[in-house]
Amino acid sequence: MADNQPTDLHAMRHSLAHIMATAITRLHPGVKLGVGPVVDNGFYYDIDLGGKQLSEDDFASIEAEMKKVIGENQPFERSAKPIDEAIAWAKEAGQPYKEELLNDLKRAGTTIAKDLDAKELGLVASGDSQVTEVSFYRNGDFTDLCRGPHLESTGKVGAFKLMRISGVYWRSKEGNPQM
């Protein structure tokens, strides 16, 4: 295994999370997005479709739409916004989970669940956020709050397969919406 493969694999998986979110957004306009990180054996994206729950029966249509996005070879383009503009973007886009994360970044400099005290955890000094700007990535007509990294374009991701589905409460807090 070449030294750069783990980083490339991370960027590929992270790019696939965005491609999956793009596909789900196309298939289910109005979807609310949480986070879409890379994990040890792949990637995921927290989504809220209101009262609808996805199942493994939905994989074929999601994978087909992902393949369309990959075939479009959309470049991943990074941009940055001041934190207040980013919060306004989330509110205007109807993305309450992104808005919550951005407000936590502004308030505490971290996206750790807001019921935790970041100052007590030593993550910020005197509760003042040091986050003044956040980054976004755009591919095609999909834009998402994101630190990256990504591959150059959607067409560079390689093979993938959706394997399983699970549910979790937003930010692992019972009483929050299940995603």
Say yes or no: 18 and 51 in one domain. Answer: yes
Say yes or no: 48 and 34 in one domain. Answer: yes
If you average pLDDT over residues 30-57, what whole number do you get? 92
**Structural domain of 114:** 78-137
Q: Taking the model in full, what pTM does it have?
A: 0.84
Whether residue 68 lies inside any domain: the answer is yes
Number of domains comprising the chain: 2
If you average pLDDT over residues 137-146, what whole number do you get? 95
Say yes or no: 90 and 110 in one domain. Answer: yes
Evaluate whether 121 touches 112 at the Cβ level (below 8 Å): yes
Please give the pLDDT value at position 114. Answer: 45
In terms of Cα–Cα distance, which of 138, 11, 16, 133 is closest to 65? 16
Report residue 123's pLDDT band, with 50, 70 and 90 as the boundaries: very low
Least confident of 114-118, 138-142, 174-178: 114-118
Say yes or no: 86 and 105 in one domain. Answer: yes
What CATH number did the domain enclosing 35 receive? 3.30.980.10
Whether residue 37 lies inside any domain: the answer is yes
pLDDT value at 149 more than 80: yes
Distance (Å) of CA 24 to CA 29, 71, 101, 142:
8, 16, 21, 11
Span 85-96, pLDDT tens digits: 999 999 999 999
**Average confidence score pLDDT of the chain:** 86
Report residue 124's pLDDT band, with 50, 70 and 90 as the boundaries: very low
Span 26-36, pLDDT tens digits: 999 999 999 98
pLDDT value at 116 more than 60: no
Cα-based angle 111, 112, 116 (whole degrees, multiple of 5):
135
In the chain, the percentage of residues whose pLDDT exceeds 70 is: 85
Please give the pLDDT value at position 81. Answer: 94
If you average pLDDT over residues 70-80, what whole number do you get? 97
Evaluate whether 86 touches 134 at the Cβ level (below 8 Å): yes
Say yes or no: 109 and 160 in one domain. Answer: no
Whether residue 178 lies inside any domain: the answer is no
Whether residue 142 lies inside any domain: the answer is no
